[in-house]
Amino acid sequence: MKVLIANRGEIAVRIIRACRELGLGTVAVYSDADRAALHVRLADEAWHIGPSPARDSYLRIDGLLDVARASGATLVHPGYGFLAENEVFAAACVDAGLTFVGPTADAIARMGSKTAARHAAIAAGVQVVPGAVEPYAADAPEAAIVAEAERLGYPIVVKAVAGGGGKGMRTVEAPAELPAAIRAARSEALSAFGDAAIYLERRLIGPRHIEIQLLADHHGTILGFVERECSIQRRHQKVVEESPSPVLPADTRRAMAACAVRVAREVGYTNAGTIEFLVDATGEFFFLEMNTRLQVEHPVTEMVTGVDLVQWQLRIAQGERLTVTPEQALTPRGHAIECRVYAEDPDRQFLPSPGLVRALSTPAGPGVRDDRGVAPGFEIPVFYDSMIAKLVAWGATRADAIDRLARALNEYRVVGVQTTVPFFQWIVRQPEFLEGRFDTTYLDRVLASRQGQPFVDVTDADARDAAMAVALGAWFRAHGASTAGTGDSGGAWRRAARFEGLGGLGS
């Protein structure tokens, strides 16, 4: 039996691994830019599906179905992003006689619309974040949105109805910022999800983002897992996630998991999904939205429960019954923390840093997991999300997990492009992080207050070591030795151009 993996990068690699372990064949797809990508190299088969822009390749439902037909794949795993929450794709797979590894098209449509999902949560008796009841279509007049924002009161959050992963989302503090936020959210939502509809939500005070992973089989069993804490966010994009939360009492965990299961039952949910909640300063929790797919941060749940969520997605899709017990799912063993490693330059306002990965050295050893989608020699394309890896550390306690994460980050080295590793090296030393004192506004606030100050302090000893290494590097280059990063290349030229460009960059 073969699985078509309708995705790319690190998540495609993650799915290939689960398929291998289950003895399933793997069919990868790739765009022009991804011919030599790691997910292609690791798969049994790889099929070209079009030009580099996602809408001409990874978002082409017809092309993906053609590949399924031609390759003889019977299951389709969408990963996350791209078509993972597109009900048209899920329905098209079923119509073509394929098994979609995810919920039904109906469940995706209902929960994928953020406004319809709120109705479902209310029907299940779960409190929702205060906000607009109905969505605004792509052509809805701006005046109507402005009026609704006035009614809700600022600050508000503009969100893509089809959103997910922080895309198509903007926080607005004052009315003057609203039109630009609407435009930006729509433009991002259209490019990421093919749907420019938006809605509004009031922003809670001091909210923590805490979510419940679900697995639901086709025999009526729905399991809620120990929570994930995802409050460390930059511009609504999660950057550090952990399980369990450093602050959630065990009885709240059980109450939250029970609410999540009720919402899933309300919509007849199957396969893996996540219910996201906001927890306010008083400890009260509100339904935020449901992600009808695997989440980027699924590994932290896997690390503390020992349950392989991707394997279970594939097993559930084939009709198997869940054998994980509620106690297994709800009882964390130790603590796990994930960092999303992006090809971005943290010292230049997190500007994307696409380009050639000249060399790579990644952490290993006890309690460390590196889910990575790039290899040395790969040119990270400009066309897709900038996440290149998820680094996860496990420890018996939260403090142990943090020490191990710090150790692993020191081992993470990517030559050729900038990554957010230096930023993570900084954050794992912050007192707020160490003590678990943060909400979803913490990171943006602290970043704004730093005013571009570099994340790593270069001591005089570091500067001397660097000067010594550069002089020796130049000597070796002059003597014909080639080390990974010392040759000139197109990538190097582009990076140099980028450095030139920084003279003109404001905040």
Catalytic residue IDs: 293
191 touches another protein (CB under 8 A): yes
Output the smallest distance, CB 503 to another protein, in A.
Answer: 6
Give ∠ CA 285-290-295 in degrees, rounded to 5: 110
Give yes or no for residue 364 binding another protein (CB under 8 A). Answer: no
Q: In whole angstroms, how close is the CB of 408 to another protein at the nearest point?
A: 11
State in angstroms the smallest separation of the CB of 449 from another protein. Answer: 17
Q: Show the DSSP H helices in 236-360 as ranges.
A: 250-266, 298-305, 309-317, 326-330
Tell me which stretch binds another protein (CB under 8 A): 155-163, 207-215, 276-284, 456-464: 456-464
Of positions 29, 192, 210, 393, contacts another protein by CB under 8 A: 192
Member of 137, 187, 325, 452 binding another protein (CB under 8 A): 187
Which C-beta is closer to another protein: that of 133 or that of 502?
502
By CB under 8 A, what part of segment 382-441 binds another protein? 382-386, 410-411, 413, 415-416, 418, 422, 425
Residue 261 CB partners (closer than 8 Å, separation 6+):
214, 222, 223, 224
Q: Among residues 23, 97, 141, 503, which is the contact residue for another protein, using CB under 8 A?
A: 503
Looking up tokens 């069919």 gives 27
Smallest CA-to-CA distance from 81 within 168, 184, 165 is with: 165
Q: Residue from 146, 184, 190, 446 that binds another protein (CB under 8 A)?
A: 184
- Taking the complex as a whole, the smallest distance from the CB of residue 136 to another protein amounts, in Å, to 20
Question: Considering beta carbons, is residue 97 or 504 the nearer one to another protein?
Answer: 504
243 binds another protein (CB under 8 A): no
Among 127-135, 268-276, 297-305, 483-491, the segment contacting another protein (CB under 8 A)? 483-491
Tokens in use for 425? Answer: 């090296």
Rank residues 86 and 115 by Cβ distance to another protein and give the closer one.
86
Q: Is 273 left (phi over 0), alpha (psi -120 to 50) or beta?
A: beta
CA distances from 196 to 19, 160, 169, 444 (A): 34, 7, 11, 25
Give the nearest distance from C-beta 212 to another protein in angstroms: 27
Would you count residue 365 as binding another protein (CB under 8 A)? no
The token duo for 460 is 């005089």
Give the rounded distance of the alpha carbon of 503 from its chain centre.
31
Report 258-317 residues binding another protein (CB under 8 A): none
Instruction: Give dist(CA 99, CA 252) in Å, integer.
Output: 36
Q: How far is the CB of 197 from another protein (least distance, A)?
A: 18
Instruction: Name which of 445 and 475 has its Cβ closer to another protein.
Output: 475
| Closer CB to another protein, 151 or 479, in the complex | 479
Residues 37-96 interacting with another protein (rule: CB under 8 A): none
By CB under 8 A, what part of segment 135-164 binds another protein?
A: none
Phi/psi of residue 16, nearest 5 degrees: -55, -40
Q: Which residue(s) pair with 196 in the sheet?
A: none
- Which of 234, 211, 225 is closest to 291 using CA atoms? 211
Contacts of 468 (CB under 8 A, 6+ apart): none
- The angle subtended at Cα 273 by Cα 272 and Cα 279, nearest 5°, is 145
- Residue written as token pair 């079009």: 50
Question: Per CB under 8 A, does 475 bind another protein?
Answer: yes
Burial of 308 (0-12, 13-18, 19+ CB in 10 A): middle
**334/352 with CB nearer another protein:** 352
Q: Which two tokens stand for residue 143?
A: 């005046």
CB of residue 47 vs another protein: minimum separation in angstroms?
A: 24
Q: Kindly write out the interface string for residues 319-358 of this chain, putting x where it contacts another protein by CB under 8 A and - elsewhere.
A: ------------------------xx---xx-xxxx---x
CA distances from 120 to 265, 275, 448 (A): 10, 12, 37
